[in-house]
Chains A and B, each alone.
Chain A
């Protein structure tokens, strides 16, 4: 039972294809300009590839318990690959520490920290990053801006409690209100 079935093998092929499709839609003539659509298209292409391989094979049409179990496992393998690619891709694209390191490497010499942070992105800095992350909070419905204050959106108490529990689970010190 260690040798993978057709369905499982197809799932691994499709899983590996996620970053490859992402590269294809990020460069050259197939480049998708919208940052988020790139990832959506790469994921959909990988899922399409998986369906094409699986549905043209013979195993899935047996429709027995083994085939159903393998299909479920295949879906999990594909989504694991999508999520893993997303983690790495987001880190490389928007990770703050990554951006800081890349920015520092581009400087000809040592920098004064505050003035560097104010324009570390070659056109944007810490203030723009602040607005960007506030935008993220508001667009996900977690927070709302009212004039000069930010407040928790209605319905955000449960997500806040879950995040608090996760911080406790992973033993992270909670940010304190100073």
Chain B
């Protein structure tokens, strides 16, 4: 019954998330997904306990939150993954093949410009006479990120394979 409660709660979340995203149209939906997930978890737990009489809370919660973490991971991948964007660009061509130069010059550079625009739209950067400058909010976020990097010993790791790795080009 606990497993069923967790699964039913997750099914409700899976149905609610696309509706909420289409109604609210947030820039980044992760805070909204988390809020909905907590509300559904509470309601599902109460409903499960009332419906089945007895419920093992932790078993139901473990199933539900494990699946929810996967949903959030999937959202993050669709939201900003450059490799996924590149993959979909190639997949959408009729021949499922694309010239590397075109992928780089036309699409990849645009993806990077989108990232820069996101920094500006998110208040982390601002344009001053055609130049990009960091804002106080951006500097504050960068300081936190640098602290996290130092904690995890990540000061020199910024690419998956490193610049010296054998590249496809």
Contact = CB atoms under 8 A, between A and B. Distances in A.
Interface of A: 1-2, 4-5, 8, 11, 22-23, 26-27, 31, 35, 66, 69-70, 72-74, 76-77, 79-80, 83-84, 87, 89, 91-102, 104-105, 107, 109-113, 116-117, 121, 123-124, 126-138, 142-143, 145, 148-152, 156-157, 160, 163-164, 166-167, 169-172, 174-178
27 contacts: A2-B58, A8-B58, A8-B62, A23-B152, A76-B65, A76-B66, A77-B62, A87-B76, A92-B154, A94-B157, A94-B160, A96-B80, A101-B124, A102-B142, A110-B129, A111-B131, A123-B163, A124-B159, A132-B167, A137-B83, A152-B96, A156-B87, A156-B91, A160-B88, A164-B88, A167-B88, A175-B92
A87 B139 CA distance: 23
Place the interface of chain B in its size category. Answer: 35 or more
Given A102-B146, A137-B86, A175-B89, A132 B153 contact: no
B7 interface: no
A1 B55 contact: yes
Contacts of B22: 171
Contacts of B169: 131, 134, 145
Given A124-B163, A171-B18, A134 B132 contact: no
A163 B87 contact: yes
Nearest to A145: B168
A17 to B, nearest CB: 15
A130 B29 CA distance: 27
A132 B160 contact: yes
B83 to A, nearest CB: 4
Interface of B: 2-3, 17-18, 21-22, 25, 29, 54-59, 61-63, 65-66, 69-70, 72-80, 82-93, 95-101, 103-104, 106-109, 112-113, 115-116, 118-119, 124-125, 128-134, 138-139, 141-143, 145-146, 148-149, 151-154, 157-161, 163, 165-169
B78 A166 contact: yes
B41 to A, nearest CB: 13
Nearest to B126: A110
A110 B132 contact: yes
B57 A2 contact: yes
A138 B101 contact: no
A31 B57 contact: no
Contacts of B131: 110-113
B28 to A, nearest CB: 11
B58 A93 contact: no
Contacts of A23: 151-153
A111 B69 contact: no
